Amino acid sequence: MKKLLLLVFTISFLSCSDLRELNERIYIAQKEQIQQSPYESASRMSVRIESQRRFRSKELPELLKEKLFQQIELTDTLLILEDFDEICFNCPSVRMQVLYQDTVYSIRREVKGSRVDYNAKKVKFDSSLNDSYQYHDYHELVEIKNKMKRKEDWTSNPLEYGSDGCLDGNHTLLTALYPEGKIKTMYVRCWWPEYQRRHRKK
């Protein structure tokens, strides 16, 4: 029988202590990644991932409980994308997406004056998309999922995805939770869609 779990913390049990432990494991993996990252801008991510850890612990569960609760078990790799604004150093992600099997669950943070709103939606995942509007909405997930299908090491060269040479581009962390419990994560600055990177090289 399937257990009712928070999607982003999908594991085979549901208790506050287990969720806190997984949140800490994600944070530690992300912290190690930015310390080892070849991007110069990674040194500015420490405060952001602290904010995101608090967000996942205190705010995100309620949002998912209200909008994105699903009955699933982790029998496949789950991808979490967290995208941070360049301007705000101590803010949680402006965009968070979770890919599980054939569905992308998205939460976007919008600041309206003194109020913060979160818009949630879910869409069917299509890894064959190329340059459509929907592809732009989750192009990072398409690229990494396709690399996983080809059994490529998607974390071996983070610099292939982006560049430090942009002024106001976002900071992105992509984290994979594997069914066997392993966590892998990668930091990218200014993640360009794959077809745009190919065009820039010409």
pLDDT, one tens digit per residue, over 128-187 is 766 555 567 889 999 999 999 999 999 999 999 999 988 778 999 999 999 888 999 999
Q: Is 58 helix (H, G, I), strand (E, B) or coil?
A: helix
Task: Report pLDDT for 14.
Answer: 41
Structure tokens belonging to residue 57: 């612990």
Q: Tell me: pLDDT of 198 over 80.
A: no
CB of 8 closer than 8 Å to CB of 16: no
Q: Tell me: pLDDT of 10 over 70.
A: no
pLDDT, one tens digit per residue, over 36-71 is 999 999 998 999 999 999 988 887 766 565 444 444
Q: What is the DSSP letter of 127?
A: T
Q: What is the DSSP letter of 121?
A: E
Within its chain, how far is the Cα of 113 from the centroid? 26
Cα 165 to Cα 41: distance, rounded to the nearest angstrom: 10
pLDDT band at 12 (very low <50, low <70, confident <90, very high): very low
Within its chain, how far is the Cα of 46 from the centroid? 16
